[in-house]
Amino acid sequence: MLEKKINASAEVTVLEDGKSENWTVQPSYAAQHCKNFIRDIVDNLNLQPNPEKPVIALSLGDPCVYGNLSPAPEVVQAVADVLVGGRSNGYFPSVGQECARQAVAEYLSVDGAQISPSDVILCSGCSSALEHAITVLACGKKGHNILIPRPGFPIYRTLAEAIGVGVRYYNLLPEQNWEVDLFHLESQIDHNTAALVINNPSNPCGSVWSEAHLRAVMSVARRRRIPVIADEIYERLVFPGESFISVAALEAGVPTLICGGLAKRFLVPGWRLGWIVVHDETSALHDIRSALVRLTQRTIGSCTLIQAALPAILQQTPITFHSNLAKTLQRHAQLAYECLKKAKGLTPYMPQGAMYMVVEVDMSGFPMFSGGLELAGRMMEEESVFCLPGEVRVPLV
Ligand SMILES: *Cc1c(COP(=O)(O)O)cnc(C)c1O
């Protein structure tokens, strides 16, 4: 029993034994273990740009920042119509409205992939899809780990460690177009490995895997009986002449949760609309399906305005919008590549898709800097150009 005493300045709670207690509330385990590794390093650098030069932030994965890339007018109109129509202000089913799931299934059922509406679960962005996927496959089983690519998108680690799931890195090979080092991948698998995360096309490599390589990766997963989480947020966002193969088209016999969304290919990351496609040729994911439905009930689904506009967004965006975006990104990548190639000590890797480029720095050509982190810091301070240092992507552990 607590008894309250009022004193002149404040209300103090006094415990039964008479000791007053300063009440500080501790963040939970999950909150304490939630870290954004890029932000941590970048914020710690505390970099000031050169005030004489405008900042060029090459560190952002947001295509909307500079205003030169906008969503298709058809897409904007679709959301405006839904908003004015006033019929999508209530709750939808937590897995998403049927016609929206149907639209996603049709949109993704191309190039050999066959997806049905019941395979689709809508989420608040691809990040939330990834969180559900990692949670449903790995969370709460003591000692479990997931395998994630290096270099790779840092959110996989952020999401996993926040819920007590360990991560193990498998290497990508720059000299082989960032294909997976299959031997290294195998060496990282243990009996606690609950999922393999793959990301094709890749952030940050901009690589697009061949069908043969995708099959090779999936066959490791199949042999070792490890379900796959395929982050396909850059599906079909590949440069002219390149082709994207979804794991949904492979029939690789591996239970897979495919995560995707509108953010990048439709240039609307802030709209927070993503999805999970349960790709289950071997009927191994029966329980996972219902578990995913339960997980979506925690936040009661994704934004209903965007869901209601989804059929129009996915069907009415002109093909030329997508092809122009791919051409523009290729042109930008080519320009950056040609410039960087000429710089002594820099080796840019020309991407085939997505919106990123990795540049290798031969530090022997930059003896005045102690490492990539210092180089990135000095680029910001002298030229106001901000790149993410490799230490962010490739932890030295
Ligand atoms: C941008 C990005 C995401 C996140 O997408 P949202 O829909 O904005 O949550 C997921 N994976 C990768 C690899 C990304 O680059």
Among 26-30, 200-204, 220-224, 250-254, where is mean pLDDT lowest? 26-30
- Is residue 20 within 8 Å of 13, Cβ to Cβ? yes
User: Which residue did the predictor score with more confidence, 44 or 347?
Assistant: 347
Across residues 107-129, what is the average pLDDT?
96
How many CB atoms lie under 10 A from the CB of residue 88?
A: 17
Instruction: Report the SS3 class of residue 278.
Output: strand
User: Which of 203, 271, 299, 355 to mutate for ligand 1's pocket (most ligand atoms within 8 Å of CB)?
Assistant: 203
Atom of ligand 1 nearest to the CA of 152: 13
Domains in the chain (CATH in brackets) are: 35-69+319-392 (3.90.1150.10), 80-316 (3.40.640.10)
Burial of 373 by CB count in 10 Å (0-12 exposed, 13-18 middle, 19+ buried)? middle
Q: Is the CB of 93 under 6 A from ligand 1?
A: no
What is the Å distance from ligand 1's center to 264 Cα? 8
What is the Å distance from ligand 1's center to 233 Cα? 6
User: Which of 132, 264, 306, 313 to mutate for ligand 1's pocket (most ligand atoms within 8 Å of CB)?
Assistant: 264
The CA-to-CA distance between both ends of the chain, in Å, stands at 50
DSSP track, 58-78? TT---TTTTSSS---HHHHHH
Q: Is the CB of 231 under 6 A from ligand 1?
A: yes
Q: Is the CB of 203 under 6 A from ligand 1?
A: yes
Across residues 379-396, what is the average pLDDT?
75
Q: Is the CB of 196 under 6 A from ligand 1?
A: no
Averaged confidence pLDDT in the chain = 92
What is the Å distance from ligand 1's center to 263 Cα? 7
Q: Is the CB of 154 under 6 A from ligand 1?
A: no
Residues 6+ apart with CB under 8 A from 320: none
- Is residue 154 within 8 Å of 38, Cβ to Cβ? yes
Banded pLDDT at 23 (limits 50, 70, 90): confident
Q: Is the CB of 124 under 6 A from ligand 1?
A: no
Q: Is the CB of 153 under 6 A from ligand 1?
A: yes
Across residues 285-290, what is the average pLDDT?
97
How many CB atoms lie under 10 A from the CB of residue 76?
A: 14
The position carrying tokens 């000031």 is 48
What is the Å distance from ligand 1's center to 36 Cα? 14
Q: Is the CB of 199 under 6 A from ligand 1?
A: yes
What is the Å distance from ligand 1's center to 28 Cα? 26
Q: Is the CB of 233 under 6 A from ligand 1?
A: yes
Q: Is the CB of 61 under 6 A from ligand 1?
A: yes
pLDDT at 13: 64
User: Which residue did the predictor score with more confidence, 13 or 74?
Assistant: 74
Q: Is the CB of 259 under 6 A from ligand 1?
A: no
Q: Is the CB of 194 under 6 A from ligand 1?
A: no
Q: Which token pair is 364?
A: 């022997």
Q: Is the CB of 127 under 6 A from ligand 1?
A: yes
How many CB atoms lie under 10 A from the CB of residue 37?
A: 16
- C-alpha 37/C-alpha 155 separation (Å) is 8
Over pLDDT 70: what percentage of the chain?
93
Question: What letter represents residue 281's amino acid?
Answer: E
- C-alpha 240/C-alpha 315 separation (Å) is 21
pLDDT at 1: 40
Nearest CA to 325 among 67, 66, 69, 65? Answer: 69
pLDDT at 294: 97
- Rounded to the nearest 10°, the torsion over CA 219, 224, 225, 227 is -70
Beta bridge partners of 198: 230
Digit-coded pLDDT (tens) for 131-153: 999 999 998 778 999 999 999 99
Element (H, E) at 359: strand 358-361
